[in-house]
Amino acid sequence: MSVLLEAVNISRSFISGDSPCLALAPLSLVVEKGEFLVVTGRSGAGKSTLLHLLSGLDLPSQGEIFFKNRSLSRMNEMEIARLRNSSFGFIFQTPHLLSDRTILENVAMPFSYGEPVAHGTVDKRCRELLAYAGLEELIHRFPGTLSGGEMQRVVFARALVREPEIIFADEPTGSLDGGNSRKIMELLARQVNKGCTVVMVSHDPEAGSFGTRTLHLEKVESAEGVHS
Ligand SMILES: Nc1ncnc2c1ncn2[C@@H]1O[C@H](COP(=O)(O)OP(=O)(O)OP(=O)(O)O)[C@@H](O)[C@H]1O
């Protein structure tokens, strides 16, 4: 295995009112290629904060994050946007689909940015992924007509459409029932078997059982908060 992502002594503070709030206490972490890392911990422990830092959506107050040995904090905005679009896939608890676009168009959205790709290639890739997610019958429908489980499978397809090296998922099954939750987890696990890396925040022990490693965060009670 090779190191894909490395966080060196990162922490994140926010100013809340007059006082600083430590959302994530200092932490170092290595994610190997092909791992399925599950991040657990109580509400407020800093799980989403960590995911945002690792995926370049936010910058640490201290420390540094490297993706394939390149420091995220030394990249300019354009470089980081390009990296997020080409190498990272995102799945959040709330689907965030465009309501006036069809399912097929939503899945193709990541191709609107970055290097142009031929329309035929985009169309083929999106249809293949939607079929893979069991949604081939729904491609011309609009998001408002789909169930929560179907919408989350559309998000899964959109996250994979540019063949990311790593998928960041924040409570991807949080709003789903047992059956739909299992479908999403099986799709993610299949990607890991194909060599993709996943970092997932989850409260759900069943979802967590799909991981290959767990990182448990402890809620920060003081500036010296501890992670185990
Ligand atoms: N933008 C912000 N400004 C101030 N405080 C913040 C901000 N973002 C997060 N925090 C605080 O940092 C702490 C960690 O938040 P975070 O969302 O990472 O927790 P979490 O473990 O993901 O929680 P949950 O399981 O409830 O989603 C919380 O106390 C939160 O209130």
Q: What's the CATH code of the domain at 117?
A: 3.40.50.300
- Atom 31 in ligand 1: residue holding the nearest Cα: 44
Q: How far is the CA of 49 from the centre of ligand 1 (A)?
A: 6
What distance, in Å, lies between the first and last C-alpha atoms of the chain? Answer: 23
154 in a structural domain: yes
- Atom 3 in ligand 1: residue holding the nearest Cα: 14
208 in a structural domain: yes
Contact between residue 98 and residue 143 where contact means Cβ atoms under 8 Å apart: yes
14 in a structural domain: no
9 in a structural domain: no
- Atom 26 in ligand 1: residue holding the nearest Cα: 43
- Tell me what percent of the residues of the chain surpass a pLDDT of 90: 69
Tens of pLDDT, residues 19-44? 889 999 999 999 999 999 999 999 99
Query: Pocket around ligand 1: residues whose beta carbon is below 6 Å from it?
Result: 14, 16, 21, 23, 41, 43-49
Confidence of residue 221 (pLDDT cuts 50, 70, 90): low
108 in a structural domain: yes
Tens of pLDDT, residues 72-108? 999 999 999 999 988 999 998 888 899 999 999 999 9
Q: Total domain count for the chain?
A: 1
44 in a structural domain: yes
27 in a structural domain: no
Task: Select from 16, 24, 49, 171 the residue to mutate for testing ligand 1; criterion: most ligand atoms less than 8 Å from CB.
Answer: 49
Q: What is the pLDDT of residue 8?
A: 98
Q: Is 110 helix (H, G, I), strand (E, B) or coil?
A: helix
201 in a structural domain: yes
Tens of pLDDT, residues 110-169? 888 777 788 888 999 999 999 988 999 999 999 999 998 899 999 999 999 988 999 999
Which amino acid is located at 222 in the chain? S
How far apart CA 37 and CA 189 sit, in angstroms, is: 11
Q: How far is the CA of 18 from the centre of ligand 1 (A)?
A: 17
What ipTM was reported for this prediction?
0.97
Range of the domain at 83: 33-59+76-217
Q: How far is CA 101 from CA 131, 155, 165, 191, 202, in A?
A: 18, 13, 27, 26, 29
Q: How far is the CA of 25 from the centre of ligand 1 (A)?
A: 12
Q: What is the pLDDT of residue 225?
A: 39
